[in-house]
Structure 1
Amino acid sequence: MSTTTGACNDDAPIRVLLVDDEQLVRSGFRLLLDIEDDITVVGEATTGAQAVERARATRPDVVLMDIRMPKMDGIQATRAITAANELRNVRILILTTYDTDAYVFEGLQAGASGFLLKDAGPAELLHGIRVVAAGDALLAPRITRRLIAQFTARRTADEVAEKRLSVLTAREREVLALVGQGMSNDEIGAALFLSPATARTHVSHAMVKLGARDRAQLVVIAYRTGLVTP
């Protein structure tokens, strides 16, 4: 699932912070990223706490974040980074494996903009970094909307849907429901007979009104309020 909402300067390389407690993994990522003209690695971190510290020091566009790390894990680090006002433009791309799929919901709630499986190929990883750097939401094909629904539906009762959605116009609700289904701006426009630019405007208004950091969080809200059901 990806969409179009610009977040970084198109003329400048995408600044990436690598976070993983395994040196071999970080080295592999660096080798892959260093040969790309539009991506530059600005730092590395081996723990969640170090990731927060390095994010403050380097102000990356994207943090490539592992989940399983000692002391402070990737979810906690993501939460700390996205909660920091001075790091509001930093996007988190979390790497997960099949046995950590349960972290998907918590990661989205913490402010992650995307997820990739650790066995993703080089092209998929590079695409993911570019998508997230552009301000879009990314979910790996195998991390499906059904999976998100599984973890968000359990919490639907925690939200008072009408109160949460009352700030939206009827059109914005329609758009939010389609965002929750993983549609792009072009697809939303086609479904509602709107131009992609108008669809994007409605998405932006919904984000502001609901206090969503990005489209990934709109997906969570759509499920939690019952606007989209599994």
Structure 2
Amino acid sequence: MPRDHRPAKSIRVLLAEDGSMSRGGLAVLLGLVDDIQVVAQVPTGDALVDAALVHRPDVALLDVELPGISGPDAAARLREQVPDCRVLILTTFARPGLLHHALAAGAAGLLIKDGPVEELTAAIRRVLTGETVIDPTLTDASEWAGPRPPVA
């Protein structure tokens, strides 16, 4: 009989991404990691807080562009309703002001969406220790040059 090799305390992860194929693929990849458990997947920013209240994830991975409300806006709502949940926002490319907007919304990090799964899992573990994790390709000077959105 196969034994479950998960540690006693797995890191509980919630995924919020609109592309069902990529969300499912990411869930499968994360499910192969011994100390990570995907506890919920949602297709819209509007569904994020309710899912987090039910499943109590340690970390939420949010696509920057979600149907309903954006990843940073969903992160701000999540910070208010489930403050113990750390948030990593995933993006395909840097946009002016995105890094500032994500951090102002309460995200613990901003990563490139299609990066290696090993980097993502390392980032998940790091944000749980209180670190802020930012993909180095997103930190060039042009990122900070854009307009700064108001902080809600």
TM-score range, shorter chain: 0.7 to 0.9
Alignment of structure 1 residues 194-209 onto 2, 5 Å? none
Aligned residue in 2 for 1:104: 99
Partners of 2:86 and 2:48 lie apart in 1 by 13
Q: Give yes or no for contact 2:62–2:90 (8 Å, CA) kept in 1.
A: yes
> Which structure 2 residues correspond to residues 117-136 of structure 1 after superposition, within 5 A?
117-136=112-131
Matched, 1:94 2:97: no
Distance of 2:94 and 2:137 partners within structure 1 = 13
Counterparts of 1:7-26 in structure 2 under 5 Å? 12-26=9-23
Could you report, residue by residue, the CA deviation over 1:129-171 in whole angstroms, capped at 9, with x for unpaired residues? 11112221100011126356435xx76xx9xxxxxxxxxxxxx
- Report what 1:49 is aligned to: 46
Unaligned runs of at least 5 residues, structure 2: 1-6
Matched, 1:58 2:19: no
- Greater per-residue strand proportion: 2
One-letter identity of the residue aligned with 1:79: A
Post-superposition offset of 1:99: 4.9
Mapped partners of 2:13, 2:60: distance in 1: 6
TM-score using structure 1 length:
0.57
Alpha-carbon contact 2:89-2:109 (below 8 Å) kept:
yes
- Describe how 1:130-145 pairs up with structure 2 within 5 A: 130-144=125-139
Superposed structure 1 runs of 4+ greater than 6 Å apart: none
Q: Could you tell me which amino acid in structure 1 is paired with residue 24 of structure 2?
A: S
Deviations 1:33-53 (Å, cap 9, x if unpaired)? Answer: 111111101100000010111
Q: Equivalences for 1:140-219 in 2 at 5 Å?
A: 140-144=135-139, 146-147=141-142, 149-151=144-146
Question: Which is helix-richer, 1 or 2?
Answer: 1
Shift of 1:101: 4.9
Change (3 A) 1:18 1:68: same
- The amino acid across from 1:132 in the alignment is V
Cα distance in 2 between the residues matched to 1:16 and 1:138 = 16
Distance 1:111 1:61 in 2: 14
* Pair 37,101 (structure 1): closer, same or farther in 2 beyond 3 Å: farther
User: Among the aligned pairs, what percent are the same residue?
Assistant: 36
Q: Could you give the per-residue CA deviations for residues 99-126 of structure 1, whole angstroms, max 9, x where no partner exists?
A: 5453211111000000101121111111
Aligned amino acid, residue 43 of structure 1: A
Q: CA RMSD in A?
A: 2.1
* Partner residue in 2 for 1:83: 80
Q: For 1:99 and 1:135, how far apart are their aligned partners in 2?
A: 23
Larger radius of gyration: 1
Q: 1:56 to 1:95 in 2, by over 3 A?
A: same
Corresponding letter in the other structure for 1:72 = I
